[in-house]
Amino acid sequence: MKKIKALMVAFVMAGMTITSCSSDDSGAAPEITGKWNQTKTVVKIGNQSVTQKYTDNTDGCTKNYIEFAAANVYNDVVYFKQGGNCQESAAEPGTWSKVDKTLTITNGGQLSGIYEVSKLSGSALELKTQNNDGGINSTTTIYFSKAK
């Protein structure tokens, strides 16, 4: 009888060990670093929303991107067409910092500001900001896809 109890305790302990060691790691968290292409912006005021596709690329030169580089360097890279070739315009780099879900972009041109990172995956990034203009509250969400 003692052997049976000892075996049962051993099985219970083994079962607890197996279930407590089950892998709950889902791999490394996605990183914001890298190049991103803006795809659209959605502005929501109350129940109304307006979607605007990103149209700032020069015709025939769809290479614009933003980059969250090492050492917290932010680049807003814009291309223009000259002589039939796409040329990168010179831009002063800004800075970025991310703490939890708060992203701050400084000296980043049109995207300078503080954002909530509402989605971050290996292929998608969504930045959200709240605005109050004359008592009217709005939410702006900017959508990006990972540059290839």
CATH number of the domain enclosing 102: 2.40.128
Does any domain span residue 3?
no
Asked if residues 65 and 35 have their Cβ atoms less than 8 Å apart, the reply is yes
Q: Which domain holds residue 43?
A: 31-146
Does any domain span residue 2?
no
The DSSP code for 101 is: T
What is the structure's pLDDT at 58? 83
Reported pTM: 0.77
Does any domain span residue 133?
yes
Does any domain span residue 22?
no
pLDDT tens, position by position, 6-52: 444 444 444 444 444 444 456 788 999 999 999 999 999 999 999 99
Does any domain span residue 109?
yes
Does any domain span residue 52?
yes
pLDDT tens, position by position, 95-137: 999 999 999 999 978 899 999 999 999 999 999 999 999 999 9
What is the structure's pLDDT at 96? 98
Asked if residues 75 and 44 have their Cβ atoms less than 8 Å apart, the reply is no
What is the structure's pLDDT at 60? 83
Q: How far is CA 122 from CA 104, 110, 114, 125, in A?
A: 20, 24, 22, 8
The count of structural domains within the chain is 1
- Measured distance CA(144)–CA(130) in Å, rounded: 18
